[in-house]
């Protein structure tokens, strides 16, 4: 496909390394990577504020590991709600419901984190604050792209600004806003409230809850970018301009979603629950502020009445109450509610010419039942971000860029496959037995945490030679958590904590037992050999320290090495260039 370059009629122009379209979790995570690398980046969004309610809220463990690598783990620890157990409820054969299965939530067996939930407004506020603190970058609100073209004479020169995008600041009446339908019920009367729209994770967040247009309404400009990232959702403007098709099908069932403070006699509402009954299906997960989120299968016989503007929170709660019978169910406060009917689709392309990239809902849409939307989107951004930033900083060869699609497209396809099975087995119409739901969750468990994803051999994942024994660190998977001790401080630390997402590469040297003189000599010889390597790996555009940081990990019986020997290790050739730690 060729996108021709034509003249622009906008008033002025600017140049950036990366332009990001869309300021949801995918776009913000991408911008955070660019900020870490010190790139010139702009991020625009058609809406006038960040998320105010509802939407994505589930945090799986791999996403928490990524947040922690950016120094944001404390945000979820302080403001998130952790969920450690999942229960399955189904008919007891006597007209009631009973708990038929319980298990740990997905990912607790493979990570040092516990999954949970956090208000998307808090998620976006924390990312926006982190980006601003690192690079002074702010989201430009009420700004939309109107044209995107490429200069095909520059596409192979990755130092050139080959993508041209025209932008327009919308007029006030065009400004995208969030629907706020929070209300409290007292004596049968619903009274509107502001709702929990104010983020409490960062100071001075209130300005991003008031609809704003960044700049003069109606003004235009042209942006020349090296790269563009389309993170503009399921109706992606960027994807449509490129002519990419979403392939798949629409799942016909409609579900309602409500975040509310419940009044119920049903047990287990502080856990993650799946509730199956002849009346339908309800999924629930605990939220902040004593709220619970319910996903409610809407009765098929009443499908025509369930449209935005007609369906009410009371209707949703009544549908949920039928599923939970004989337990009572009502609510005293509703923060937000909506309905959805989502297609399960994947884009036929994830990039154009390794200059324009798409991620998140712009390339894969599905139901929210597995809590994967935001998680897979942020993991798309994490995968794409270091590659684009590394090439833009001239640390990495542009040949690495195609690995974004080769790695993330199979994940999107697997997500759709699992979501299709889950959606069918949770549907009252399609589900035959409780075992169907069990089987669906077993399949989901192997994928959902994000910690077990294994990329195929490629330019960035080496292939083991034939006959080579499989190591305990599977190639293509994320570095697993592992407790170690820092030899300088003798304090415990996790292996993942030694690898922050800061734009530097870590070379892990597993030095073995250096109390053995022969092994110590081998380690020191490697240290000498590393010196020219560290000098080699510097950005072409700048002088300064290497962006490759070696880390030495040694193994011995704890307490065997005394302080004096520890100093010998620290003074050795390799350790002078490493942060020494030991594995017990």
Q: From the centroid of its chain, how far is CA 196?
A: 22
What are the structure tokens assigned to 101, written together? 């299965």
Beta bridge partners of 283: 274, 295
Picking from 371, 354, 388, 372, the residue whose alpha carbon sits closest to that of residue 30 is 388
Closest CA to 550 of 581, 522, 571: 581
Neighbours of 349 (CB within 10 A): 16
DSSP letter, residue 496: G
Report DSSP letters for 265-298, one per residue: --S-TTSEEEEEETTEEEEEEE-STT-EEEEEEP
The set of catalytic residues is 57, 287, 295, 368
Do residues 225 and 39 make contact, with C-beta atoms less than 8 angstroms apart? Answer: no
- Contacts of 360 by beta carbon, 8 Å cutoff, 6+ apart: 22, 24, 25, 26, 27, 231, 233, 373, 376, 377, 380, 381
3-state secondary structure (DSSP) of residue 550: strand
C-alpha span between 344 and 417 (Å, rounded): 9
Buried b / exposed e along 86-117 (16+ C-beta atoms within 10 A): bbbbbeeeeeebeebeebebbbbebbbbbbbb
Q: Name residue, tokens 């929210």.
A: 368
What does the alpha-carbon distance between residue 157 and residue 384 come to, in Å, rounded to a whole number? 19
On whether the CB atoms of residues 226 and 17 are closer than 8 A, the answer is yes
Q: What is the spatial distance between Cα 337 and Cα 190, in angstroms, rounded to a whole number?
A: 14
> DSSP alpha helices (H): ranges in 449-547?
517-536
For residue 549, which of 529, 571, 579 has the smallest C-alpha distance?
579
The answer to whether 424 and 430 have CB atoms below 8 angstroms apart is: yes
What six digits make up the tokens of 74? 């404390």
Bridge partners of 102, per DSSP, are: 87
Q: Whose CA is closest to 282, among 431, 89, 99?
A: 89
Q: How far apart are CA 235 and CA 568, in angstroms?
A: 61
Contact 230, 219 (CB under 8 A): no
Q: Is 290 left (phi over 0), alpha (psi -120 to 50) or beta?
A: left
Pairing of strands 356-358, 292-297: unpaired
546 Cβ partners below 8 Å, 6+ apart?
534, 535, 536, 537, 538
């Amino acid at each position: 496909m060729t996108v021709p370059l034509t003249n622009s009629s906008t008033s002025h122009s600017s140049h950036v390394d990366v332009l990001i379209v869309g300021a949801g979790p995918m776009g913000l995570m991408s911008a955070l990577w660019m900020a870490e690398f010190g790139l010139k980046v702009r991020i625009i969004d058609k809406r006038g504020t960040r998320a105010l309610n509802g939407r994505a809220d589930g945090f799986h463990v791999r996403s928490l590991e990524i947040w922690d690598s950016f120094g944001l783990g404390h945000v979820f620890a302080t403001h998130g709600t952790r969920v450690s157990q999942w229960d399955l409820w189904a008919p007891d054969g006597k007209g009631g419901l009973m708990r038929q299965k319980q298990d740990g939530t997905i990912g607790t067996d493979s990570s040092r984190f516990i999954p949970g939930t956090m208000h998307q407004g808090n998620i976006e506020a924390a990312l926006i604050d982190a980006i601003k603190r690192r690079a002074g970058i702010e989201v430009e609100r009420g700004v939309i792209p109107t044209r995107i073209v490429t200069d095909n004479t520059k596409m192979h020169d990755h130092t050139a600004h080959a993508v041209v995008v025209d932008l327009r600041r919308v007029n006030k009446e065009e400004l995208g806003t969030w629907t706020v339908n929070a209300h409290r019920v007292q004596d049968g009367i619903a009274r509107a409230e502001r709702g929990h729209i104010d983020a409490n994770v960062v100071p001075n967040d209130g300005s991003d809850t008031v609809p704003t247009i960044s700049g003069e309404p109606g003004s235009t400009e042209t942006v020349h970018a090296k790269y563009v990232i389309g993170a503009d959702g399921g109706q992606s403007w960027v994807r449509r301009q490129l002519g990419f098709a979403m392939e798949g099908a629409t799942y016909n069932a409609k579900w309602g979603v409500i975040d509310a403070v419940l009044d119920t006699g049903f047990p287990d509402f502080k856990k993650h629950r799946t509730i199956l009954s002849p009346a339908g299906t309800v999924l629930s997960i605990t939220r902040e502020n004593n709220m619970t989120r319910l996903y409610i299968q809407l009765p098929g016989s009443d499908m025509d009445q369930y449209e935005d503007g007609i369906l009410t929170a009371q209707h949703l709660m009544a549908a949920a109450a039928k599923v939970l019978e004989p337990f009572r169910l009502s609510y005293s406060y509703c923060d937000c509610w909506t309905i959805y009917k989502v297609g399960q689709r994947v884009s036929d392309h994830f990039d154009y010419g390794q200059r324009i990239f798409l991620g998140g809902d712009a390339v894969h849409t599905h139901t929210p039942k597995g809590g994967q939307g935001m998680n897979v989107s942020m993991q798309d951004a994490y995968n794409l971000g270091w590659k684009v930033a590394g090439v833009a900083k001239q640390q990495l060869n542009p040949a690495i860029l195609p690995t974004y699609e080769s790695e993330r497209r199979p994940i999107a396809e697997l997500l759709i496959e699992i979501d299709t099975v889950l959606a069918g087995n949770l549907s009252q119409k399609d589900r035959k037995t409780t075992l169907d739901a069990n089987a669906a969750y077993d399949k989901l468990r192997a994928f959902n945490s994000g910690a077990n994803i294994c990329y195929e051999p490629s330019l960035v994942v080496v292939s083991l030679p034939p006959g080579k024994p499989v190591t305990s660190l599977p190639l293509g998977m994320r570095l697993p958590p592992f407790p170690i001790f820092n030899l300088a401080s003798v304090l415990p630390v996790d292996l993942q904590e030694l690898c922050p997402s800061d734009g530097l590469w870590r070379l892990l040297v597993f030095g073995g037992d250096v109390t053995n003189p022969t092994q110590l000599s081998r380690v020191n010889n490697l240290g000498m050999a590393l010196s020219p390597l560290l000098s080699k790996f510097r950005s072409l555009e700048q002088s300064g320290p290497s962006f490759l940081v070696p880390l030495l990990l040694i193994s011995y019986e704890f307490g065997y090495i005394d302080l004096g020997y520890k100093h010998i290790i620290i003074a050795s050739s390799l350790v002078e260039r490493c942060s020494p730690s030991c594995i017990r």
